[in-house]
Each structure stands twice: as structure tokens, then as C-alpha cells.
């Protein structure tokens, strides 16, 4: 710990009473692609520090940083070689401390990503495991097994990697012969830990303390549902289909994982200032997700059911209603998310082009009025689309190679942000590791800043208004025509969204506060064009 350790913690309206995270808006920074501070074309901590004013003026409460730890970057840093350091590409620990201090000074909390399911194959422990013989304590930190078949040349079971191909890779033993296999649910450069080994557990408890001591406000827990595998490592007998495949598997959502989060909660609670744990868990239903949010476990979990809902009033109503019903009577509140660094940007998912953008604007208003917290992925406040035509030789996501070059992977939502200017890379830095399209000229922060109708100003206004209504806990559905989503919260905010293809006339629900696009008023009636959301003060 250095002298730069911040003593000051943000204390805003959300600090009071029930816990800041319950109604917070948390902004996801994909570090590599946010802002380049030292001019090498790769986003870094210095770049984030320089651009904190953007986040403060946007009006979010906290920032989640994707992994910036020492890593060979086989999976954008989700392959960690040293959990207690900053990769030189992104800065150093002093810069991290300065970022935390600056963020806290600007009223923003900082959440860091922790990757407990797997390390990099370049982590000291994995190198030691490779050098040690089968059955050694070094191998017991990971999941090494003998292969099947007479010469052990078949993988130990039929599990597949989330990125494609088998989830096992065979190693060469010290004597030069083909040897055991190790499990990797993701890339072969991401060996899975054996969480039944107490040494692994102790190590991560210590890593959490390391970052809590440096002042972080919480952790986003990568693949939180994956840590434990069924002890028999049984075959599944079925193929899987990538990240969004939430079907039950002997490697997801095992009971033992909850004991780890109980321990982590005790650690978080032993620090002042309400430090939180957020689960990234892709599960078949919200009821399973809720088990991670029991009062002695984690604070929050991404609600991916909302993210995967199609653009229709029926689909949105279904997912919002069932989520809130599941949370009913529970101490926790849902968190809502439309995009992140693993999925196609929602402008594109909702159809792309003008229509996609209109829907994305309306979706933001639908999300930000809901009870609970919300996550905003960098660039969604600029209305960015997925970049679908990146040159193949620039693709970096391991999915591309592991799928036999059939799945282009997630690079299209990771293109560096456009800040200013008329030419790529739009002041991200002097260059950028992935090229931005010429259409982003109109999407830069600078271009949108002074335009009252821009997506950026819609987010700013919505986030400012939200503060007034943020303590909502409940929602009631209002009588709405077909294709219209219409609800009011117990904090006095109502949201009406026309998700159909025809204009609809609705009765005003109160004072019109905000509209995602212009509306026509006729006395106490308002006409909403297709893909339009409005907020009312009731
Ligand atoms: C999580 C991350 C994703 C990463 C994977 C493996 O799902 O969000 O980016 O590839 O875990 O760590
Ligand atoms: Ca850089």
C-alpha cells in the first residue's frame, strides 16, 4: 500500500441507508478500449484518469474496470498471470492508486474484475504444475487428469470450451512423453483452478484483501458460477453453444460455490464503506441467480435475461415481471444490463441502423427507470453499433481461432471509443488497436456534447432525473395498448414505451419529463411514434 491510498470515499445520496449499490448506475470500462494515455494505441489507466470528467458528467455512481493485471492477453486480460500487479501495458500500481484517488475525489466508486475460475498458463502456479509430476501438490491447484483410451490420448471427458473445441489440452511430461490433460473451460491458455484445494481458496481471499487495502469498492466476479466442477467430472453428452448457453452442466452452478461467496462476503464486510461483490453468472433462470444474492453472499448479479430479451413489449414485460416477482420479498434488488464486452452491442441486436438506434434510446430509458441498479457498457451512451466488418487479420478474440474461424467473436463490441475529431481513431490516442468506422465521426463525445438531442445527452438527462426517483423498489403495470410497455414505480416515475411499428396515442401519466424522441401532444394525450419511450413524474 502506498501513501496515495485514498481516505476519502464518495458519499452521495445513494450512500444513505440501504446500501449504495442497490440503486447505483455502474459504468463498465473495457480498459483496453476506453482511452489511451501513453500513445501506444492501447487503452490504459492513465487514459481512464484523464477521461474521468466524462464519467462524472455522465452521472454514473461507479466504474467497473475489466482486468488490467499482468497477462499475456490471450483473452483480453481474462487470463491473469499475476493477480497482484498491473500489466505494464496498462500502467503500474502507483497509477492504479492515483486512479482510485481521483475517482473517489470525483464521487465515483471503483470496482475491479476478479478472475477466480482460471489463471493464465503463464501464472507461476501453472508453470510449476507443468514442471511437476502427475499427483504432485503443484498439479493439484489445477484440474489435471489422465486421458482416456489405452494410451490416454482421448480427453478425460466430453466437455467443450466456451470458445469452441475440447475443454482439455494434453501436456508433455518432463521426460518428453505425452502426459496428462488439464481442464480449461475457456481458452487453452486459461487453465481452470481446482477450487476443492484449500490453497486456491486462501490465495483468492488474500488477493481480495490486497485490492480492498488499496481502496477498491468491490469486485465483479468473472464466471462466478464456474469455480466448482462436479467431483466425478462426468460426460455431458450434449454440445454447447457459446457464452449464452445457460443449460445445466456439471461445471456450472455447483452447490459448493456458495460457501466461497459466504467467505468473500465476510471479507468484504470487514472493510468500511460498503464494498460489494457482483456475480457474472449465466444461469438458466433468475431463481438460481438469486441464490448467489442471499444476505450472507454477494450483493448483485447481472440479469442477463433482460439483455437477451428481443425487442418487443411482450418479451420485455415477461422478463421484467418475472425478475421482479422472483426478487419479491428478497432483501436484494435486481440489476439490469443491455450490453457488455461479451455480446453484440444492443443497437445492432435491435436491428441496427436508425431503427436500432431509436430502440436503443428507448431501451435505455426503460432500463434506467426500473427498480434496482443498472450497468452501462462504455460506448452505449454514444449509441455505438457493433463493428461487424473488422479485417480478419486484426481479430484478437480467441473465439475466432478456436471456432475454426467460423465465429468472429467479441472484438466488434470492443472497438476503441471515439472521443473527438473527424478521423479515426477519434482522439482515443494517436492510433488504436482496432479501427473505428468512419460513421463514428458523428458519435464522438465531442460531437454529441453540445447536441441536446444526442444519445449522450439523453443518458446524462436520464441519469440526472433518475437520482430523484432512484429509491424505487416496486413497479406496477399500467393498462396499455398492444406493443406498449407501461409501468410506474413506487418512487413516482412512470415509463411508457411504444415498442410496436405503428404510432400509438396514450393518456399522459403525469408531467412529461423526458422523451427518447419527439412526441406529439394533444391535450392530455400524447402520440408516441414507434420505438419511443417517455418518462412521467406521477
Ligand atoms: C467472462 C468474461 C469474458 C471472458 C470469460 C473468461 O465471461 O466476461 O470476457 O472471456 O469470462 O474469463
Ligand atoms: Ca496505452
Going by alpha carbons, the residue nearest to atom 2 of ligand 1 is 222
Span 7-11, average pLDDT: 53
Give the residue, out of 67, 112, 222, with the most ligand 1 atoms within 8 A of its beta carbon, to mutate for a pocket test.
222
pLDDT in tens, 93-122: 999 999 999 999 999 999 999 999 999 999
pLDDT value at residue 13: 41
Q: Is residue 132 over pLDDT 70?
A: yes
Q: What is the pLDDT of residues 67-81, one digit of tens each?
A: 999 999 999 999 999
pLDDT at 479 over 50: yes
Q: How far is CA 207 from CA 55, 81, 201, 230, in A?
A: 27, 13, 10, 25
Question: Which residue's C-alpha comes closest to atom 3 of ligand 1?
Answer: 342
User: Can you tell me the distance from the alpha carbon of 84 to that of 86, in angstroms, rounded to the nearest whole number?
Assistant: 7
Considering every ligand atom shown, identify the ligand nearest to the alpha carbon of residue 95 and give its number. 2
Question: What is the per-residue pLDDT for 17?
Answer: 64
pTM, 2 dp: 0.96
For CA atoms 76, 78, 81, 82, give the dihedral sign: positive
Ligand 1: nearest atom to the Cα of 342: 9
Report the separation in Å between the CA atom of 385 and the middle of ligand 2, taken as the mean of its atom positions. 24
Residue tagged active-site, from 36, 79, 121, 222: 222
Q: Which of 187, 217, 280, 486 is catalytic?
A: 280
Q: How confident is the model at residue 284, as a pLDDT? A: 87
For 419-464, how does the pLDDT look when each residue is reduced to its tens digit (9 = 90+)? 999 999 999 999 999 999 999 999 999 999 999 999 999 999 999 9
**Cα(150) to centroid(ligand 1), Å:** 35
Q: Specify whether 217 is catalytic.
A: no
pLDDT tens digits, 392-425 = 999 999 999 989 999 999 999 999 999 999 999 9
> What average pLDDT score do residues 475-490 get?
96
Give residue-wise pLDDT tens across range 329-360.
888 899 999 999 999 999 999 999 999 999 99
Distance from the alpha carbon of residue 223 to the mean position of ligand 1, in angstroms: 7
Residues of the chain with pLDDT > 70, as a percent, come to 96
As a whole number, mean pLDDT of residues 169-185 equals 96
How does pLDDT run across 200-222, given as a tens digit for each residue? 999 999 999 999 999 999 999 99
Q: What is the pLDDT of residue 9?
A: 56
Average predicted confidence (pLDDT) for the chain: 95
Length of the chain: 538
C-alpha cell belonging to residue 5:
491510498
pLDDT in tens, 506-537: 999 999 999 999 999 998 999 999 999 999 99
**Ligand 1 binding site (Cβ under 6 Å of any ligand atom):** 75, 78, 115, 186, 222-223, 280, 341-342
Ligand 2 centre distance from Cα of residue 39 (Å): 5
Q: What is the pLDDT of residue 11?
A: 52
Mean pLDDT, residues 367-381 taken together: 98
In this prediction, residues 483-511 reach a mean pLDDT of 97
Cell numbers standing for residue 198: 484449500
Mark whether 18 is an active-site residue. no
Query: Considering only CA atoms, which of 411, 455, 420 is closest in space to residue 441?
Result: 420
What separation in angstroms does the CA of 261 have from each of 212, 258, 285, 333, 387?
16, 5, 19, 18, 37
Amino acid at each position: 500500500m502506498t501513501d496515495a491510498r485514498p481516505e476519502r470515499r464518495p458519499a452521495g445520496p445513494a450512500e444513505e441507508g440501504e446500501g449504495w449499490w442497490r440503486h447505483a448506475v455502474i459504468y463498465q470500462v473495457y480498459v483496453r478500449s476506453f482511452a489511451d494515455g501513453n500513445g501506444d494505441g492501447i487503452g490504459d489507466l492513465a487514459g481512464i484518469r484523464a477521461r474521468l470528467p466524462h464519467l462524472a458528467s455522465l452521472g454514473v455512481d461507479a466504474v467497473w474496470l475489466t482486468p488490467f493485471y499482468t497477462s499475456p492477453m490471450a483473452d483480453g486480460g481474462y487470463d491473469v498471470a499475476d493477480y497482484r500487479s498491473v500489466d505494464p501495458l496498462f500502467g503500474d500500481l502507483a497509477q492504479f492508486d492515483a486512479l482510485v484517488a481521483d475517482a473517489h475525489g470525483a464521487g465515483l466508486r471503483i470496482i475491479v474484475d476478479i478472475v477466480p475460475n482460471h489463471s493464465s498458463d503463464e501464472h507461476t502456479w501453472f508453470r510449476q504444475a507443468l514442471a511437476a509430476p502427475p499427483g504432485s501438490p503443484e498439479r493439484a491447484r489445477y484440474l489435471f487428469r489422465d486421458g482416456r483410451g489405452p494410451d490416454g490420448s482421448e480427453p478425460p471427458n466430453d466437455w467443450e470450451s466456451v470458445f469452441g473445441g475440447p475443454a482439455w489440452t494434453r501436456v508433455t511430461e518432463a521426460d518428453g512423453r505425452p502426459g496428462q490433460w488439464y481442464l480449461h473451460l475457456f481458452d487453452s491458455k486459461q487453465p481452470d483452478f481446482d477450487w476443492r484445494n484449500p490453497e486456491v481458496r486462501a490465495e483468492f481471499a488474500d488477493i481480495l484483501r490486497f485490492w480492498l487495502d488499496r481502496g477498491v469498492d468491490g469486485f465483479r466476479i468473472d464466471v462466478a458460477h464456474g469455480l466448482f466442477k462436479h467431483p466425478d467430472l462426468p460426460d455431458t453428452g450434449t454440445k454447447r453453444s457459446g457464452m449464452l448457453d445457460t443449460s445445466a452442466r456439471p461445471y456450472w452452478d455447483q452447490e459448493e460455490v456458495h460457501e466461497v461467496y459466504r467467505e468473500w462476503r465476510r471479507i468484504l464486510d470487514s472493510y468500511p464503506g460498503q464494498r460489494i461483490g457482483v456475480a457474472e453468472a449465466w444461469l438458466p433462470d433468475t431463481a438460481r441467480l438469486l441464490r448467489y444474492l442471499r444476505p450472507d453472499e454477494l450483493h448483485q448479479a447481472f440479469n442477463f435475461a433482460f439483455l437477451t430479451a428481443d425487442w418487443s413489449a411482450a418479451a420485455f414485460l415477461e422478463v421484467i415481471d418475472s425478475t421482479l416477482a422472483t426478487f419479491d420479498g428478497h432483501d436484494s434488488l435486481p440489476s439490469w444490463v443491455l450490453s457488455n464486452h461479451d455480446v453484440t452491442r444492443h443497437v445492432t441486436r435491435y436491428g441496427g441502423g436508425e431503427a436500432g438506434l431509436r430502440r436503443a434510446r428507448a431501451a435505455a430509458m426503460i432500463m434506467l427507470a426500473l427498480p434496482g441498479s443498472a450497468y452501462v457498457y462504455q460506448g452505449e451512451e454514444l449509441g455505438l453499433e457493433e463493428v461487424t466488418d473488422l479485417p480478419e487479420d486484426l481479430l484478437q478474440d480467441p473465439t475466432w481461432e478456436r471456432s475454426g474461424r467460423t465465429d468472429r467473436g467479441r472484438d466488434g463490441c470492443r472497438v476503441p471509443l471515439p472521443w473527438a475529431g473527424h478521423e479515426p481513431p477519434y482522439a482515443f490516442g494517436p492510433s488504436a488497436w482496432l479501427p473505428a468506422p468512419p460513421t463514428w465521426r458523428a458519435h464522438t463525445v465531442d460531437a454529441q456534447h453540445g447536441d441536446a438531442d444526442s444519445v449522450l445527452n439523453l443518458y446524462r438527462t436520464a441519469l440526472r432525473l433518475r437520482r430523484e426517483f432512484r429509491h424505487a423498489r416496486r413497479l406496477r403495470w399500467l393498462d396499455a395498448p398492444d406493443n406498449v410497455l407501461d409501468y410506474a414505480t413506487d418512487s413516482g416515475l412512470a415509463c411508457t414505451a411504444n415498442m410496436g411499428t405503428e404510432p400509438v396515442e396514450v393518456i399522459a401519466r403525469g408531467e412529461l419529463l423526458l422523451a427518447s424522441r419527439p412526441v406529439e401532444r394533444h391535450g392530455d394525450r400524447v402520440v408516441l411514434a414507434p420505438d419511443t419511450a417517455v418518462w412521467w413524474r406521477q
